[in-house]
Amino acid sequence: MHHFDYQNQQLHAEEVAVAAIAEAVGTPFYLYSTATLTQHFKAFDNAFGDLPHVTCFATKACSNIAILRLFASLGGGADIVSGGELFRALKAGIDPQRIVYSGVGKTEAELAAALKAGILLFNVESEQELDALARVAASLGVTAPVSFRINPDVDPKTHAYISTGLAKNKFGIAIDQALAVYQRAAAMDNIEVKGVSCHIGSQLTQVGPFVESLRKVKAFLARLAEAGIAISHLDLGGGLGITYNAEAPPHPEAYAAALKEEMAGLKCTLILEPGRVIVGNAGILVSRVLYTKTNVAKKFVIVDAGMNDLARPSLYGAYHAILPVNQQRQDKVVADVVGPICETGDFLARDAEVPACEAGDLLAVMSAGAYGFTMSSNYNSRTKVPEVLVRGDAFHVIRQRETLDDLVRGETIPEFLR
């Protein structure tokens, strides 16, 4: 469910007309609903309410500090994968003891920053990373709280680019090799082994892969216990999918029920890292039609948003519904919705049934809240778009549109070229 609907044939975000926001801030722009973000966070978090747990929002999905602050106010933490995301989480006011640090390529500078911040856990992904973390912790005179990400070799049945739990993926330590790594870490100075982490992928629409991976993790936890290694935290990652088109992912309550059944008897704090399931359908990308044209038998709707603004269709072949902001005209056409980028791969929809429209019309690209703005770029020297947050009958610009000066900030012409 989301809070984008038509009132008097005009698309609204909660109680604000989308067209009014477009008039005020220009196009394209990202638009989020506070009510939807809140509802989705609570639906997920409350599903695990009878277990000791921490809901650490996957910051990479949507990293604006206003949205992170909203989740912090609801008791949420953050799953981060870079020093920049650590900075954002802290800037948003998230308690460091509700931050977990994932990712395969943490630098020593990033490890040091997280240690100084006092985060809850490092999800370590390799032995060399463990060694680096121990060195940095020793240099700071602190102990690093560690969880190892184990790879259970489970097929998440999702797009290959967002599958992370197969043996051939770059993430984690093979589950058959992990016990020796845990034993080595347990004997190290400046390292405190606290948890086990497992994340198998994103946009999963079935409970089965989650349950299969948890069963493997449980067996591994038994091996750790036999080796005398006590675990206080179990990080099961995120990955629960949303409806973009015809998908029917499980409700968070069904997902939670399946996990809780498998976890019976385990005495540890559960860490969850939802991202898309909270923000995906809570955001849209609003764009204006520039031109329409027909080449031979192919129709094109050319809009002012491109693959640099929303990469998912070009990168994954992902589907996003495209709706008219003004619903007065009901007719549709089969067309490609394309942007201004100088690439044939620049499209928001291909051979799709979309609103029949004319230059100047506004279109809403739905379900764009996850991996939308966070994956955007300045390709073709295009300025990044604004982000806008609606609450009730008011809207707030939570990121200004970049200026042309922003494009060259940090660039210099060396003296020999002057």
Active site residues: 342
d(C-alpha 275, C-alpha 283), whole Å: 13
**In this structure, is the dihedral angle defined by the CA atoms of residues 340, 344, 348 and 349, taken in order, positive or negative?**
positive
For the purposes of burial, counting CB atoms within 10 Å of the CB of 295, is it exposed (0-12), middle (13-18) or buried (19 or more)?
A: exposed
Helical packing angle, 65-73 and 83-91, nearest 10°: 60
Rounded to 5 degrees, φ, ψ at 173 are -110, 135
- Residue that is written with structure tokens 């999800």 in the block: 123
Cis, bond preceding 324 (omega within 30 deg of 0): no
DSSP 8-state secondary structure symbol assigned to residue 168: T
Are 14 and 391 in contact, with CB atoms under 8 Å apart? yes
List b or e across 336-353, with b for residues whose CB sees 16 or more CB atoms inside 10 angstroms. bbbbbbeeeebbbbeebe
d(C-alpha 80, C-alpha 40), whole Å: 20
Beta pairing partners, 10: 7, 326
d(C-alpha 362, C-alpha 349), whole Å: 15
For the purposes of burial, counting CB atoms within 10 Å of the CB of 63, is it exposed (0-12), middle (13-18) or buried (19 or more)?
A: buried
d(C-alpha 122, C-alpha 100), whole Å: 6
d(C-alpha 186, C-alpha 208), whole Å: 32
103: three-class secondary structure by DSSP:
coil
d(C-alpha 335, C-alpha 337), whole Å: 6
Residue 235, number of CB atoms within 10 A of its CB: 28
Beta pairing partners, 336: 300
**Structure token digits, residue 326:** 């003004």
d(C-alpha 398, C-alpha 380), whole Å: 24
Q: Which of 103, 104, 71, 105 is nearest to 88 (CA)?
A: 71
Are 388 and 35 in contact, with CB atoms under 8 Å apart? no
